[in-house]
Structure 1
Amino acid sequence: MKKFRYIVCLLSLATLSSCDSILDKGPLDAFTNDNFWTGEGNVSGYANTFYEQFLGYGNAGGSGDFYFNSLSDDQVGRDFDQYPNNKGVPSSSTTWRNGWIEVRRANIMIEKVSQMTTLDDAARNHWLGVARLMRAWQYYKLVRMYGNVQWVEKSLDITDEGVLYGARDDRDMVMDRVLDDLNFATQNVKDVASKTTWNRSMANAMKAEVCLYEGTFRKYRKSEDSQKAPDGAGATKFLTACKEACAAVMAKGYSLNTSYQGNYNSIDLSKNPEMILYKAYKEGLLMHSLIAYICSSTQISGMSKNAFESYLFTDGKPLALTALNKTDKAPMVDGHLSLKDILAVRDKRLSQTIDGVLLYNGRGYTRYNVGMESTASSGYGICKYDNPAIPEGFRNNTTKNYTHAPLFWLSVVYLNYAEACAELGAITNDDLNKSINLLKDRAGLPRITTAIGFSDPANNHGVSDLIWEIRRERRCELMFDNNVRYWDLVRWHQLDKLDNSKNPDILRGANVANDMSGCKADKVGEYIDGSKASIRAYDKKYYLYPIPSGQIALNPQLAPNNPGWE
């Protein structure tokens, strides 16, 4: 009985949370789960709750999906970041709990919309597509964190004990079901031009992300970290699905925005030709805190030396091979170490991502000459999301930033397309020219062909020169975005690259040789050291998060826990 009471409470919370924004339109006793599903307006309102899963830049004082996730080789955090699941087995997890709440929310919608007689076939299939899209999205996030999970395709109640207390299903089977959901969604969600609501291009962009993850995860996995051997056929299936989804979006008339930074610091993305779906913020209504965090008097997280060195030079060559001036020793100009000349010979995205001077303890810096003085943990401050047009009182206020956030946009589709083609082993120069070479044009870099023409000594992933350069392009284009880098390392099975005992440059920062006396930050030689004298040691068990112990107590069939967490 104790288990049943727990489930009743959990499912009741899920139902109420899914209907809050709709129920406030009428008396609380006006609707039940049976009489609510009468018209398309109610269905639309119910589906709107799914948007809450897309955090963008966050809501009010909360953190969002950009910049704040500093565990990667791209950022040096103001605090030391350990592997996120290194603290042992938790008794509970909001990620685990909320994932299942959202799965149930989607299943309720699938069941009820299927039974509605007031919808025509197109409307019914559209809303079923939305619900199946969001069920797929939740399972994608659950599987990449926990591996094997139960596949549930009905809204469970306490009579469904066989499912509630069943064993976990194989993660490959679950992801095959996810692909079924994604295929249905991309065929049935309405093909409309809106950039703020459900549309087919959004569904295809989501499908591409999920399928690229799954295809590369299966291709590169190893039995020692995944308990399963590589799956070539499965990898090909998902990578092909990714390529097809990307091609569908690329045929829709989207185009790159002329400004790379304009995708991130705009107060209006409605006319941005690159946007597929964005999150709109509005002064006084819905605001965020991102800009306030990157121009704060509290030390901010900065770009790592490793990330800085990943950007190509304007001759198209990496640090080890360029013929251009490769120094990172910034000269002192007007009281600050200036990056002007250093950035001038690099990928244009770098100068639109970090400040033009170094800012660190002992040498604070005020961006745009307004607001507060900032320092960065690596010396490389992050300007990518800032906008000087926003008044100081709003830029520096932790609840009053109102720049719009991209959620799904064309450059990501280009990156996904090129990588899927390359991983399938059938990429052509035409594929490159209609995808990442367009990004290189915007970045002021030479285009590439399938014959790269050089081998970067920094390639430590054990992949071809072409795939290494495609991965580099992804890293630089999406720097600090959506926690992309962490999950990229997981799907490529390169999570050991976050071990700073073996890769010390991931927690080092800028060269401050020309201000050794003025720099008050910790240093290793000429470079800022952001390691906090700590070690982040890799363990193969970190590829999966542990199932919360409280869930195993409720359902012993979830045992044994994930490998290394038993």
Structure 2
Amino acid sequence: MKNIFLALSISVLLFTSCELNEIPEATATEEDILGTESGLKTYSYSFYNNITSGSDAFKGDAMADYGAVNNLNDFIVDGSYSAETSTGWSWSALRNINHFIVKCNNPNLSESVKNNYIGIARFFRAWFYYNMVVRFGDVPWVDRPLGLEDEEKLYGKRDSRVLIMEKIMEDLDFAYANIAATSSDGTLVTKWTAIGLKSRVALFEGTFRKYHKELNLASTANQYLQLAATAAEEVMTKGPHKLNTAEGPDLSQRQLFISTKPVTNEVMLAVAFSSELAIMNDANWWWTSATYGPRYSLVRPFINTILNIDGTPYTDKANFMTEEFFEECQNRDKRLAQLIRTPGYRRGGASAPPNFASFTYTGYQPIKYTMDDPSYDNGGTNTNAVPLMRYAEILLNYAEAKAELGTLNDQDWAKTVGALRERSGVTGGTKVLPSKIDTYLQKTFFSDVTSPIILEVRRERQVELALEGFRFNDLKRWKRGELMASLPWTGIYVPALDKLIDLDHDGKVDVVFYDGNKEAPGISVPAGIAKVAIGGKANNFQTMTSTNHLEWFKAQPRTWYADGRQYLYPIPANSIVLNPQLDQNPNW
């Protein structure tokens, strides 16, 4: 099986430049590489590492409103992030792609062969520029390898996001029209990956323009929303992908994240690994370690938005705030048990409740990317493939674009959001559009949204795509970045301190919480039971709310500036020193 993210050590592709004018090094002639179809194919493998690396593909939501972690990212700590510390203004990947596109012109090769590989290159150029626009907004558009003589471009101003987005759409249209592959083992780009990326990019831009009035681009938002809907529909009606249902409601979604080979009926692009080639990831280590990873813990406000199995909001229950962990996990959308450790979850043949001894702060411990065998926990030994694009996202892109346009109908709902909920065992509300606003969802997350349809599409997106790297960008495009600072990092309900608690009701005590002003719990605690200090001198980061819910990091405030600067990253100061024509992003 081809593995696009394995260590592709091809000397002719060792492009390490960070500036727009540095020349790529090569040890073979261009004719050797660009004069044959096999050479073009080999060269094209170098593009894949530009998307993400195998080491971080499962860490996409490392910074999100719904993830409590052991150390705050500097980006949301007052005064800790600046143009002097900013990164990401790197152009080596683009130069590599542009070099290929310009030089892929050998007359001995057919136009269809050349256009196929140029299409792949333009797909990756579009992805590169999409990431740059999301991070920095306006950026220079460069579609050829630059030399020292290109001073006007090298030292010019940034181009507007309007131009960049038009060019991205052109690249993706060319890629869709010319990439020959219609299927793969999940690790290679196909024409459906290209049109799928178009739906993602267009949805981002359409909603960003709609909600960021300060850009003065709201009048063009619907243009991109329609492009998103049309691109997604193309995948839905003509493509080979569908929702994976092979394992039933209890495992069909999680199977996509723990399988060694990409589950290609739904997964459109993935990072794959191989123990035979000693190319593995460390997902288990990152998600289960007390010291290596961030001890990432989902928070109660997010968990509360996961529906009951009958399709009603969990927060409609009169006593939802005082339900203990076992009770709150009962009769919920099956994705809850595929996302976090819930009662009944087992590892290595034994029950495995949330690990308060050395991992979770809130009680909601993720399992989406972790293998159930604990032998994977202590190093980089995982071989499970990590999806980067899947059909579920396409359905959500379609539903959201149509909802924002005001054209989503019952049929659209049933084949998108309804289908995702049915896949997860939800029995109600899957056939017709919602007509009632969930006041908890609205008040907690989206106070500016008055449409029950848009609210429910956003609920579905945050549940279905949780931990897959979309959340921070979603908050930015919806202009809800303040959730990064304001969403309470609260956890499970604790009925009382100094009480032995059996979290999963398996007959074994799991944890006791006690007053951190005391040296130890005020009761006798059996050996091996997690003892968690609440507040006081022992643990001022692990506290408890007035309603007896765990709360993490309240003592260290998170910051989202009122001037909105964090919707874009600052241009690194050293880049502006090199090119004073690069104006800084607002308020940085």
| Residue type of the alignment partner of 1:562 | N
Structure 2 match to 1:347: 333
* Match status 1:563 vs 2:586: yes
**Contact 1:82–1:536, Cα closer than 8 Å, also in 2:** no
Structure 2 match to 1:231: 218
Structure 1 match to 2:523: none
Task: Name the Cα RMSD after superposition.
Answer: 2.6
Percent identity for Structure 1 against Structure 2: 29
Structure 2 match to 1:478: 465
Aligned length: 510
Distance 1:370-1:358 versus aligned 2 partners, 3 A rule: closer
| Residue type of the alignment partner of 2:391 | L
Question: 2:69 is matched with which residue: 70, 77, 95?
Answer: 77
Structure 1 match to 2:429: 447
Structure 2 match to 1:411: 392
Distance 1:12-1:45 versus aligned 2 partners, 3 A rule: farther
**Contact 2:51–2:127, Cα closer than 8 Å, also in 1:** no
Alpha-carbon offset, residue 201 of structure 1: 0.8
Q: After superposition, what is the alpha-carbon deviation per residue over 1:69-111, rounded to whole angstroms, capped at 9, x for unaligned? A: 33212211122345359634344755211xx212212211110
Q: Could you say which structure has the higher helix fraction? A: 1
Q: After superposition, what is the alpha-carbon deviation per residue over 1:34-74, rounded to whole angstroms, capped at 9, x for unaligned? A: 6542111111111101111333xx53xx4x13346332122
* Match status 1:533 vs 2:514: no
Distance 1:327-1:91 versus aligned 2 partners, 3 A rule: closer
Structure 1 match to 2:227: 241
**Contact 2:17–2:92, Cα closer than 8 Å, also in 1:** no
Structure 1 match to 2:320: 326
Structure 1 match to 2:533: 520
Whole-Å separation in 1 of the counterparts to 2:348 and 2:301 = 24
Structure 2 match to 1:276: 268
Q: After superposition, what is the alpha-carbon deviation per residue over 1:297-316, rounded to whole angstroms, capped at 9, x for unaligned? A: 43711111121111112232
**Contact 1:90–1:549, Cα closer than 8 Å, also in 2:** yes
Structure 1 match to 2:149: 159
Distance 1:320-1:382 versus aligned 2 partners, 3 A rule: closer
Distance 1:9-1:238 versus aligned 2 partners, 3 A rule: closer
Q: Which stretch has the larger CA shift, 546-555 or 511-520?
A: 511-520
- Normalised TM-score (structure 2): 0.81
Distance 1:379-1:277 versus aligned 2 partners, 3 A rule: same
Structure 1 match to 2:161: 171
* Match status 1:250 vs 2:236: yes
| Residue type of the alignment partner of 1:466 | I
Whole-Å separation in 2 of the counterparts to 1:236 and 1:244 = 12
**Contact 2:58–2:369, Cα closer than 8 Å, also in 1:** no
Question: 2:96 is matched with which residue: 95, 99, 105?
Answer: 105
Distance 1:554-1:381 versus aligned 2 partners, 3 A rule: same
Distance 1:377-1:368 versus aligned 2 partners, 3 A rule: farther
Q: Whose relative contact order is higher, 1 or 2, with alpha carbons under 8 Å and at least 6 apart?
A: 1
Q: After superposition, what is the alpha-carbon deviation per residue over 1:333-384, rounded to whole angstroms, capped at 9, x for unaligned? A: xxxxxx444222211101111112599xxxxx97754999642122211122
Alpha-carbon offset, residue 141 of structure 1: 0.7
Alpha-carbon offset, residue 416 of structure 1: 0.7
| Residue type of the alignment partner of 2:480 | Q
5 Å-filtered alignment, 1:350-499, equals 350-356=336-342, 368-369=349-350, 374-388=358-372, 390=373, 392-393=374-375, 395-445=376-426, 446-448=428-430, 451-458=433-440, 459=442, 460-463=446-449, 464-482=451-469, 484-499=470-485
Q: Which stretch has the larger CA shift, 157-166 or 403-412?
A: 403-412
Distance 1:247-1:498 versus aligned 2 partners, 3 A rule: same
Whole-Å separation in 1 of the counterparts to 2:389 and 2:300 = 28
**3-state SS in 1 of match to 2:269:** strand
Q: After superposition, what is the alpha-carbon deviation per residue over 1:502-554, rounded to whole angstroms, capped at 9, x for unaligned? A: x3x2x222222254435325222312221251111221111111111111111
Question: 1:15 is matched with which residue: 17, 24, 31?
Answer: 24
**Contact 1:190–1:198, Cα closer than 8 Å, also in 2:** no
| Residue type of the alignment partner of 1:348 | K
Distance 1:201-1:9 versus aligned 2 partners, 3 A rule: closer
| Residue type of the alignment partner of 1:315 | D
Whole-Å separation in 2 of the counterparts to 1:432 and 1:528 = 36
